């Protein structure tokens, strides 16, 4: 694969640190969630960033496929839920669900489009396939 876009982000301080992209567009504080024994706080965390990135990417894939198929979407949204927890093999793993809303077309067409987004187009889905169980549900 030859990338058409590449970006960089640097974190200092781990989950309780700071994240900054190489172009400066992302410059945020990180906080350890209370569920991990941290104080919580106003900062974000890797799971929130991953959820936002996956949701944005997946919705873009849905819109791209709809456009290619000349199907009109009047509105769409994707809510990504990302959980992290211990794996039975050791270490930690992710659990992901995507709740997708597509308005402006019948349910069968919308389902076909989200299936293509998940199984072919979305790079997040492609990267996770075979390693993380991702549940995709059309609402």
Query: How does strand 92-103 pair with strand 134-138?
Result: parallel
Cβ neighbors of 39 (< 8 A, separation 6 or more) are: 31, 32
What one-character DSSP code corresponds to residue 30? B
pLDDT band at 2 (very low <50, low <70, confident <90, very high): very high
Q: Which domains does the chain have, with CATH numbers?
A: 1-44 (2.20.25.10), 46-138 (3.30.300.20)
pLDDT at 137 (0 to 100) = 98
pLDDT at 123 (0 to 100) = 98
H or E stretch covering 60: helix 46-68
Tell me the average pLDDT of the chain: 97
Reported as a single tens digit per residue, the pLDDT across 24-58 is 999 999 999 999 999 999 999 999 999 999 999 99
Give the pLDDT mean for 123-138: 97
pLDDT band at 104 (very low <50, low <70, confident <90, very high): very high
Prediction pTM value: 0.95
- How far apart, in Å, do the first and last CA atoms of the chain sit? 33
Give the pLDDT mean for 65-72: 97
């Amino acid at each position: 694969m030859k990338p058409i876009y590449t970006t960089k982000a640097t974190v200092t301080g781990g989950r309780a640190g700071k994240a900054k992209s190489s172009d400066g567009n992302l410059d945020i504080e990180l906080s350890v969630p209370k569920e991990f024994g941290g104080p919580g706080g106003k900062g974000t965390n890797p799971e929130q960033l991953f959820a936002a990135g996956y949701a944005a990417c997946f919705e873009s894939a849905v819109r791209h496929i709809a456009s290619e198929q000349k199907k009109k979407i009047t509105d769409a949204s994707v809510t990504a839920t990302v959980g992290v927890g211990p794996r039975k093999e050791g270490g930690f793993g992710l659990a992901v669900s995507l709740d997708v809303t597509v308005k402006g077309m019948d349910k069968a067409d919308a389902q076909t489009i989200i299936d293509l987004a998940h199984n072919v187009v979305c790079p997040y889905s492609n990267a996770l396939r075979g390693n993380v169980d991702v549940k995709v549900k059309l609402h």
